[in-house]
Amino acid sequence: MTHRVTLLPGDGIGPEVIEATLLVLEATGISFDWQRHDRVGTAGLEAYGDPLPDVVLDSIRDTGVALKGPITTPVGKGFRSVNVELRQRLDLFANVRPCRTLPGIDTPFKDVNLIIFRENTEGMYSGIENFDERLQIADSIARITRTGSERIIRFCFEYAQKHGHKQVTLAHKANILKRSSGLFLQVGREIAPEFEDLEFNDRIIDNMCMQLVMRPQDYDCIVTTNLFGDILSDLCAGLVGGLGVVAGANIGHENAVFEAVHGSAPDIAGQQLANPTALIRTASMMLDHLGEGEAAAAVETAVVEAYAERDTLTPDVGGTANTMEYAEALATRVSDHLSA
Ligand code: NAI
Ligand code: MG
């Protein structure tokens, strides 16, 4: 079977980490029919007068799946974030960010293995804002809906069940934000009993942060609203080695866009210094989504082994290899695993 997938290399380090990832995907032997679009962001503006051209959205609606490199957002001027717009236009409500300790990287904990499920479309980032010029009063409305809460919480429970997890923790601030966070917690408590095999608990967000930096091993799946999820997922990325190694996915009912957490890293772009591990693990999540579980596992296992042996790693994690040298060594491991 051939998988049709939209490929958005992005800019900055994007094309380099995409090339490295394609090499590793090739080693899985899975066949892809890539619908490649290079003209997005600044290049899209130049070519089509639009940083997120319709041809790109149409392609993702058609294939249902995209693998995406980072896209630069101009600061304080120019077009709004193509990355945020993609998530909103395609209603990609679940932002899934697994944070797992890799061997061979020096971090405070050796056994972190958790996933943040962040609501990606509403809450504090609904975009409902008001500013009274005369009184100098600003409002940002954290709109929480029952529908929006149900779909992310249900998504988290179903994912946890399907992937053999044990526990779901809902992070909130329902003691103070009685309406908005209160609704999110209430919906969680209603849905939890449907999943008897999964232990359910909840934590107030500030306590959650303390718990995560003291005992991250106690947590498995964490579901939360947009702003809390944004903050928690960076906190957890920091627990496991940082931006070069953390994967991510934006998933909706119709479409899914797979992209690493990191940005376009203009400071190291074009120098073969970028760590493609984050995007390679992102591609492993995509393989799983496409029903290619065996290939997905082979890629993740190869990454873990490469780090354990500290074999040809990139400079950000203390190695001396360049982007493609790391990818080539990893690709060999992947094909060895699959042919074994
Ligand atoms: P960044 O993630 O691009 O870089 C932060 C730091 O981490 C830099 O020092 C960079 O060199 C390093 N870094 C990032 N990824 C790395 C990798 N794979 N290997 C080794 N080092 C890595 O964040 P920054 O500088 O805040 O943003 C740069 C641009 O990227 C901005 O225009 C921003 O809007 C955009 N961005 C795009 C995202 C996306 O496409 N989803 C996400 C985040 C930022
Ligand atoms: Mg963030």
Phi, psi of 99, deg, nearest 5: -125, 105
The answer to whether 58 and 90 are in contact (CB under 8 A) is no
Residue 232 Cα to ligand 2 middle (Å): 9
Q: Which two tokens mark 135?
A: 């009184």
Secondary structure E strands in the chain: 2-8, 31-36, 65-68, 94-100, 113-119, 129-132, 137-140, 167-172, 199-204, 221-224, 249-251, 256-259
Of 3.30.200.20, 3.40.50.2000, 3.40.140.10, 3.40.718.10, the CATH number of 1-97+243-340 is 3.40.718.10
Helix, strand, coil content of the chain in percent (nearest 5): 45, 20, 40
Whether 206 is a known active-site residue: answer yes
Matching fold, domains 1-97+243-340 and 108-239: yes
Q: At what angle do helices 277-289 and 323-339 cross, to 10 degrees?
A: 40
pTM of the model: 0.92
Residues in Cβ contact with 164 at an 8 Å cutoff, skipping those fewer than 6 apart: none
Residue 146 Cα to ligand 1 middle (Å): 34
Q: Which atom of ligand 1 is least distant from the CA of 278?
A: 18
Best residue for ligand 1 mutational test, from 19, 87, 243 (most atoms within 8 Å of Cβ): 243
pLDDT digits (tens, 9 = 90+) for 30-88: 999 999 999 999 999 999 999 999 999 999 999 999 999 999 998 877 787 898 889 98
3 state DSSP class of 217? helix
pLDDT digits (tens, 9 = 90+) for 182-223: 999 999 999 999 999 999 999 999 999 999 999 999 999 999
Residue 265 Cα to ligand 1 middle (Å): 4
The answer to whether 247 and 227 are in contact (CB under 8 A) is no
pLDDT digits (tens, 9 = 90+) for 250-297: 999 999 999 998 999 999 999 999 999 999 999 999 999 999 999 999
Measured in whole angstroms, the distance separating CA 109 from the mean position of its chain's CA atoms is 21
Residues in Cβ contact with 195 at an 8 Å cutoff, skipping those fewer than 6 apart: 157, 160, 161, 168
Ligand nearest to the CA of 227: 2
Q: How is the chain split into domains, by residue range?
A: 1-97+243-340, 108-239
CATH topology of domain 108-239: Isopropylmalate Dehydrogenase (3.40.718)
Counted residue by residue, the chain has a size of: 340
Which of 125, 219, 307, 326 is the catalytic position? Answer: 125
What letter represents residue 108's amino acid?
Answer: P
